[in-house]
Chain A
Amino acid sequence: MSEMLEVSDLRVTFGGRGGLVAVDGVSLRVAPEETLAVVGESGSGKTTVARCVVGLQRPDSGTVTFEGRRLGPAGRRPPESQRAIQMVFQDPRSSLNPRMPVSDLIGEAWRTHPVTAPRGDRTEALHRLLADVGLDADVAGRRAGDLSGGQCQRVSIARALAVRPRLLVCDEAVSALDVSVQAQILRLLVDLRRSHRLALLFITHDLGVVHQIADRVAVMRRGAVVEEGPAGEVLGAPRHEYTQALLDAALDIGVEA
């Protein structure tokens, strides 16, 4: 199977030598148009893995390879790789510059990667892009402060899609949202994955949302992957006791709710 993203033996330590080992030898693979969910409780190192993939965090050792090309920090990546991997962040509001209207945010993406900029009428292209993520055209003139959390997250997704990525890294992208909005955004991601032929690296602590979106699941604990496999197997018949414990916890909450 040809892999698109390959993370191998990633190690990250915070606070220099003898500091906190956040990621301890993690290897992951994502195939084209596949969704890999990385689950684990807070502090398990899953967000750090995501930040290494997009180049916001420099690993102490290990490599991130995308389509056979080894990737460095975000700013030093070739433009083609920069736009191929995009990220949606946890906090929908702070991932949009509060002083910039939505049209400028999308415009910045197009200006940075001119190959993806629409030819012809930009306003029309912008409205089409916003419609793709389920937003009205009048959102274009608004700023983050005038939008709801769900709308902000849709704008974030639209900004990522503007540069036509092939891998979307979602770092707890629905965790900060209301349950009903959560379901809408998940639905949107599932739809977009198909229509834009996206691979997803879906980071979450919430096993409840994983079965709706993931093809494969990797379970992380204390910086290492303890179990990995097809979603059905991992969620249906976990082999590792930690996965079982996570599932039980998710079920408990599910029953109460």
Chain B
Amino acid sequence: MSQAAVLPQQVATRRWRRGAPARVPYVVIALYALVALIGPLVIDYDPVHTPLTDRLLAPGSQLSSGGVAWLGTDALGRDILAQVVYGARTSLTIGLATVLVACLVGVTIGVVAGYARGWLDAVLARITDVLQAFPAILLAIVIAGVFARSVPVVVLSLSVTAWISFARVTRGVALSLRERAWVDAARVMGVPVRSIIVRHVLPFTVGPVVALATLEFALVVLAEAGLSFLGIGLPTGAVSWGQTIANGQQYLETAWWISTLPGIALSLLIINMGILGDQLTARYGQRRTRS
């Protein structure tokens, strides 16, 4: 009896201890979101304003205007801190938009293919095969290179391959859900197919889809930085970590901070997103096999 009374408390303590480090990714990602949202309101930055007297200043140096360049300046005298902050906004915006587009397209196609099977499922399988034969980034480079530089083009070029994993995961879940008795019950009742999908199949794909979305988000942010590094995709006025890193290439020995600091910002975000994605995958993967 006393054992039973103690047990929940012990479990809670243990969960808290295990939970504390597990919460790090949430905190880090929330911080990035906060910086992306509020940062640009606090810090002014104009990519075409180039005070050449301040060029290549080390972190913490005094600017000619009287301010302090906490993270140094680049070859054109532009503030690195501002570029990191504005770059966070670009990365998160493009990441969110791409994942949203890919998720909508992928989940719709996946759930319909998994539920209906038949020719639609076969077509999806072939498209997946073809698209997987290309390296995703190569396809993105081609698409982003063909069209004029703009944010929608970058989102489109990254979504072209990103939707496939959403479609695959949703299809798998839908395929197993369509065999459930509650779906059969709805079919016998004569519930329209669209309602069956929306009410009896779709809600159960949310867990795995959210887990996948975080992993995809990390990949998309990395791919966007890659495109910007190569100088394709985003318009020149936009600030992106990839661009800043590329700008600092020549100065790696003399002014390490130009490439390194945005690189660290990028890596931290990717790593934390990856850990969060793995956590969610572990949780929802388990739930799926259990129920």
> Which residues of A are in contact with B by a Cβ distance under 8 Å?
54-56, 74-75, 77, 79, 82-83, 85-87, 89-91, 94-100, 108-109, 112-113, 156, 159, 163
Give Cα A99 to B190, complex, Å: 20
Whether A79 and B182, one on each chain, are in contact in the complex, defined by CB atoms closer than 8 angstroms, is no
Asked whether B180 lies within 8 Å of A94 as measured between CB atoms, the reply is yes
> Which listed residue (B184, B189, B203) contacts A163, Cβ 8 A?
B189
The answer to whether A87 touches B185 (Cβ under 8 A) is yes
In the complex, which residues of chain B have a beta carbon less than 8 angstroms from the beta carbon of A77? 190
Complex Cα gap A98–B200 (Å): 9
**Given the complex of chains A and B, what is the CA–CA distance between A100 and B191 in angstroms?**
15
- Residues of A within 8 Å of B288, CB to CB, are none
Report if B23 contacts A (CB, 8 A): no
Cα A89 to Cα B182 with chains together (Å): 9
For residue B181, CB closer than 8 A to chain A, the reply is yes
Which residues of B from 166 to 215 have beta carbons under 8 Å from A?
A: 180-182, 184-193, 195, 199-200, 203-204
**Smallest Cβ-Cβ distance to B204: which chain A residue:** A99
* Chain B proximity of A37: nearest CB distance (Å): 20
15 pairs, CB–CB < 8 Å, chain A vs chain B: A55-B188, A56-B188, A75-B187, A75-B193, A82-B189, A87-B185, A89-B181, A95-B182, A95-B185, A97-B182, A97-B199, A98-B182, A98-B291, A113-B190, A159-B185
On whether A56 and B187 interact (CB within 8 A), knowing A94-B181, A96-B182, the answer reads: yes
B291 contact set on A, CB distance < 8 A? 98
Q: Hey, which chain B residues are within 8 Å of A54, CB to CB?
A: 188
Interface centre among A75, A83, A156 (most CB of B within 10 A): A75
Given known A94-B180, A94-B181, A95-B181, contact A108–B199 (CB-CB < 8 A): yes
Instruction: Please judge, given known A-B contacts A97-B200, A108-B199, whether A75 and B181 are in contact too, CB under 8 Å.
Output: no
B184 (CB) vs chain A CBs: closest residue: A56
> Nearest chain-A residue to B179 (Cβ)?
A94
Chain A residue nearest to B180 in the complex (CB) = A94
For B180, the chain A residues whose CB sits under 8 A away are 94
Set A90, A96, A99, A108: member contacting B189, Cβ < 8 A: A108
Q: Is the CB of B189 within 8 A of A86?
A: yes
Partner of A75, one of B185, B190, B203, B204: B190
Chain A residues with CB under 8 Å of B181's CB are: 89-91, 94-95
How far does the Cβ of B20 sit from chain A's closest Cβ, in whole Å? 30
* B185 and A82 within 8 A (CB): no
Complex interface: chain B residues within 8 A of A163 (CB): 189
Knowing that A56-B188, A98-B291, A159-B189 touch, tell me 5 more A-B residue pairs with CB under 8 angstroms.
Answer: A55-B187, A74-B188, A83-B190, A99-B203, A108-B186
Q: Which residues of B contact A75 (CB under 8 A)?
A: 187, 190, 193
Contact B182 A94 (CB under 8 A): yes
Cα A213 to Cα B203 in complex, Å, equals 39
Q: Which residues of B contact A99 (CB under 8 A)?
A: 203-204
Q: Which 10 A-B pairs have the closest CB atoms?
A: A82-B190, A95-B181, A89-B181, A97-B182, A94-B181, A74-B187, A54-B188, A87-B188, A112-B191, A95-B185
A54 to B187, CA, bound (A): 9
B262 to chain A, nearest CB (A): 43
Q: How far is the CB of A103 from chain B (nearest CB, A)?
A: 14
Q: How far apart are the CA atoms of A108 and B180 in the complex, in Å?
A: 17
Nearest Cβ on chain B to A64's Cβ, whole angstroms: 13
B189: which A residues are within 8 A, CB to CB? 82-83, 86, 108-109, 112-113, 159, 163
Residue among A74, A82, A97, A156 with most chain B CB within 10 A: A97
CA distance A83 to B190 in the complex (A): 8
Complex interface: chain B residues within 8 A of A98 (CB): 182, 291
Of B181, B193, B200, chain A has the most CB atoms within 10 Å of the CB of: B181
Q: Closest CB of chain B to A56's CB: distance in Å?
A: 6
Q: Smallest distance from the beta carbon of B120 to chain A beta carbons, Å?
A: 16
Within the complex, what minimum Cβ distance (angstroms) separates B284 from chain A? 15
